[in-house]
Amino acid sequence: MKIFYSDAHLQHNPPFEIFDGGEKIPNFEVPERAERILSALKATSWAEILTPEDFGLEPILAIHDANYIDFLRHAYDEWLLSATDADYEKTALLPATFPPAGWRRHVPKSLLGRAGYYMMDLSAPIVAGTYPAALASANCALSGAKTLSTNPTATAAFALCRPPGHHAGKANCGGYCYINNAAVAANWLAKLGKTALLDIDFHAGNGTQDIFYQRADVLTISIHGDPDFEYPYFCGYTDETGAGAGQGFHRNFPLAAGADDVIYNAALSEALGLIRTFGARYLVVSAGMDLFDGDPLGKFKVSRAGIARIGHEIAALKLQTLIVMEGGYNNAALGKNMVTFLENFA
């Protein structure tokens, strides 16, 4: 299996995040995550580690707002050069205010105003290396998509993306995500044939939902912790099924805390049935391993055997499949969990 990885992700290493709205803690989304997975892959006999191709900005701007990407590119440097008088070291940019619903009519000129406009929460700090790392992450996903599209016999490819992407919407970052890697790749593949995107991360793929919500050429499905109790709270409910041309082409499967292998597999079975009915040519999987029992940011009870079963059932669709790395924060188990999932496609 072709694995796309870039060490540019090492440049993105935020020193902190603001957790649950108040506590300043070390960032959960750290370089160790990707390195653990890379080490586990190198120990297999089937992983071919490759450097991603540079696709430029065009496929990214096809789904993301150009002004948002420009903000992401320049925000940290602009912050360092700003006249803001502060008694703290400028190690990571986070916003101070957020616009309430209905207030997003104007993009402020000030940096901190734009930060609140384009940043959804306090868990996606922008540091010096964020933008190049996010670009490389998107290129990993696009390289995997290209591998599938140019080789009809390739059953699967894996994009070892870091930072992850599925919380990044058309014009916002959040939840450790800056560019929506899976959505960029799905949009690229959709030009070649019907594409389905299945998100199995513990948290709802709100960014992916935002990007494709009014489109019928990409079926999007997310299985996740119920937003009534879990981040991102304001997205991921069952009545969110698409709009306009996209009506009926998005489905959410919110599950209660403590959902185990049996409960998860029941939701997965229904989701896979929707993908079969849709008649997809390509499948993109947003693969978050924070569904694993014991993940510090997840509340499911899915076992490693359950992860293997999930991979087996998805692989049984026999679609050309791009697996894109999303969350997963139990670093000690992350490499083994990811390899366990991927073995079904190797």
How many C-beta atoms surround the C-beta of residue 30 within 10 A? 17
pLDDT, one tens digit per residue, over 24-62 is 999 999 999 999 999 999 999 999 999 999 999 999 999
Task: State the virtual CA torsion across 290, 291, 294, 295 in degrees, nearest 10.
Answer: 10
pLDDT, one tens digit per residue, over 256-290 is 999 999 999 999 999 999 999 999 999 999 999 99
Residue pair 50/4 in contact by the 8 Å Cβ criterion: yes
Q: Tell me the CA distances in angstroms from 156 to 30, 322, 340, one per residue in order.
A: 26, 6, 15
Output the average pLDDT for the chain: 96
Q: What is the pLDDT of residue 22?
A: 82
Given a cut of 70, is residue 133 above it in pLDDT?
yes
Given a cut of 90, is residue 340 above it in pLDDT?
yes
Given a cut of 90, is residue 71 above it in pLDDT?
yes
| Average pLDDT value for residue range 71-88 | 82
For domain 2-14+23-53+129-342, say whether CATH 3.40.50.10790 is its number. no
Which is higher by pLDDT, 67 or 84? 67
Residue pair 251/204 in contact by the 8 Å Cβ criterion: no
Kindly list the catalytic residues: 167
* % of the chain surpassing 90 pLDDT: 93
Given a cut of 80, is residue 200 above it in pLDDT?
yes
67: which 2 tokens? 């002004």
Contacts of residues 12-17 at CB distance under 8 Å and 24 or more positions apart, as own/partner, are 12/127, 12/129, 12/130, 12/133, 12/134, 12/162, 12/163, 13/127, 13/129, 14/92, 14/125, 14/127, 14/130, 15/91, 15/92, 15/125, 15/127, 16/91, 16/92, 16/125, 17/122, 17/123, 17/124, 17/125
| Euclidean distance between CA atoms 223 and 298, whole angstroms | 13
Given a cut of 60, is residue 310 above it in pLDDT?
yes
Amino acid of residue 253: F
Given a cut of 70, is residue 157 above it in pLDDT?
yes
Is the preceding omega at residue 163 within 30 degrees of 0, hence cis? yes
Q: What is the pLDDT of residue 85?
A: 58
| Average pLDDT value for residue range 224-249 | 98
| Average pLDDT value for residue range 225-248 | 98
